[in-house]
Amino acid sequence: MSVKGVVMSYPPPYDPNNDPLRKRDNSSGAQGSTPTPGDEYQQPGYQAPGYQQPYAQPGYQQPGYQDPAYGYQQPGYPAAGAYGYPAAKQTNTNAIIALVCGIATFVICGLAVIPAIIFGNKAIDEINASGGTQDGRGMAQAGRILGWVGVVLWAIGITLFVILLIAAGTSSST
């Protein structure tokens, strides 16, 4: 391709002096020595700036695009499980069900008290047996407590209903 007498090729040839990813400071500590093209900056397959190759330079490959060997760890990244954040805990499904049933106890007039207690107990047992990989103990306990509160309210309601029936039966006999 030529534009006004300028010949351009794609991709442009590799120039180590224009590479922003290369280290440009002198890290060896020796003063007065500056790296020159041909030292450690020259890549395998590097061609002189006057020679333009059509698409690729033989022997040069971008880092990160080759397949690493088995067990290879990229520099700068910790090995899996070495340190860092712990694995995320999963919330126990039965704990969620227990909490929903516990809340539903007050919405649907106490019909979910038994499932709230059962699922709450089951979730707490599963969380204890998981060895710390599951979470949701608070939800399970809340569902179980709401279930027991629903049982107590049902008992109070039934007791008041029986007392009212007894009171109505004794007062209406004439």
Name the average pLDDT for the chain: 75
Preceding peptide of 11 cis, ω within 30°: yes
Higher pLDDT, 31 or 168: 168
Q: How confident is the model at residue 14 (pLDDT cuts 50, 70, 90)?
A: confident
Radius of gyration of the chain (CA): 38
Predicted TM-score of the model (pTM): 0.49
Q: Which residues contact 113 (CB under 8 A, 6 or more apart)?
A: 101, 105, 147, 148, 150, 151, 154
143 vs 124: CA distance, rounded Å:
11
Instruction: Kindly state the tokens that stand for 2.
Output: 């030529």
164 vs 158: CA distance, rounded Å:
10
Output the pLDDT for position 26. Answer: 45
Element (H, E) at 172: none
- Digit-coded pLDDT (tens) for 43-53: 556 555 665 55
- Digit-coded pLDDT (tens) for 136-166: 999 999 999 999 999 999 999 999 999 999 9
Domains of the chain, by residue range, sit at 90-171
120 vs 94: CA distance, rounded Å:
7
- Digit-coded pLDDT (tens) for 101-143: 999 998 988 889 999 999 999 999 999 999 889 999 999 999 9
Output the pLDDT for position 13. Answer: 74
